[in-house]
A and B are shown apart, each in its own frame.
Chain A
Amino acid sequence: MADKITAYTTQSCPHCIRLKEFLTEKGVEFENVDVSSDPAKADEMVKKSGQMGVPVVEIDGEITIGFDKDAISQKLGI
């Protein structure tokens, strides 16, 4: 299992909601960063991912753009 998982999300985006539900369902502990209420974190997400769409998941420094269930599952080994 990965050590550090960060989900960059906004409150209203459907893929963000499904991403958070998915991680919670699988019992994965993660830090949720709401980029709509934290402009500095929003910039950090844009810099790390090189794009401006949510959600973005960082798993031990590796970035996945969007709610790509298969890629996220693979990286988490679940």
Chain B
Amino acid sequence: MIYDLIVIGAGPAGITAGIYAARKKMNILVLSKDIGGQTAWSGDIENYTGYQFITGPELTKRLKDHIDAYKIKINEEEEILSLAKDREIILIKTDKAQYEAKAVIIASGKMPKELGIKGEEEFKGKGIAYCATCDGPLFANKQVAVIGGGNSALDAAIGLEKIASKIYIINIGEALTADAIMQEAVKKSDKITVLNKSRIVEVKGEKFVKAIEIERNNVKEEIAVEGVFVEIGLVPNSDFVEVVDKNSLNEIIINCACETSTPGIFAAGDVTNVPEKQIIVAAGEGAKAALSAFRYLINK
């Protein structure tokens, strides 16, 4: 079967695109590795219009319920391996199957960036965690480190404050870059110590993490921690597609109508070069992408 539209990704951008496409009665398929994407991994959300406060998992459930109301086919747990265009048809290969569509929206989002240092592979899941909301509770009354200085790092540190005995924020920059409101919360806490201009160089331990080695002002220093929460930013999930232009960050370049450099391939949300990676921005971009794809298909 050749679908009118395949949406890759089911975060706020992909789900919104799916809803808009369903309302246009397009024959669509959504392919997703993870429903909700980064939203599912978010802690407290206080800037999504219409909700003064909602948690990431709750908002994800509402997004899922919304798209489910349209009886759209969603194939979960599928990883995209490649995407190619052959004349007018777009071919998508996943780890489970192969699909064809007249148009595609890439809304595959971003994933956490890894440290790339000694000990990271060895201690993944053995003290090194990439989701403070998930694994944080396992570090009750333990000393931990959060690597990073942006919003997600401070969000993790504030979340861990209720659980861990001591939290070190290891920030490579001269100062934290997170929102002022979060920096104030960190300053108020006597459990959190911020180490600026500090770079983590190694994670050490035996079976589990026991310490990290950091470098500050050219001096190496060891800090005893049992948990390391990596929050150093994200990289776009765009490796599977080569037929569209990308920028130096590997983000897919789109115009204001969410069109990529290849006709019929659209992109939306955090995987693109759109400034501001926000849930509400991603959702809006998803809507635009679906409407652009609709216009592309009726003009063909």
Contacts and interface: CB of A to CB of B under 8 A. Distances in A.
Asked whether A and B interact, the reply is yes
Interface stretch (B106-114, B133-141, B187-195, B286-294): B133-141
Contact of A52 (B34, B77, B127): B127
Q: Interface extent on A, as a size class?
A: 20 to 34
Interface in A33-78: 35-36, 39, 42, 45-46, 50-54, 65, 69-70
Interface string A1-36: 000000000101111111000000000000000011
B208 interface: yes
Contacts of B207: 50
Given A51-B125, A69-B77, A12 B138 contact: no
B134 A52 contact: no
Interface residues of B, number: 30
A14 B129 CA distance: 14
A62 to B, nearest CB: 18
B140 A14 contact: no
Given A14-B41, A14-B57, A65-B125, A54 B77 contact: no
A50 B56 CA distance: 28
A35 B138 contact: yes
B208 A53 contact: no
Nearest to B134: A13
Given A51-B126, A53-B134, A53-B135, 8 more contacts: A12-B56, A13-B134, A17-B61, A35-B137, A45-B138, A46-B138, A50-B126, A65-B125
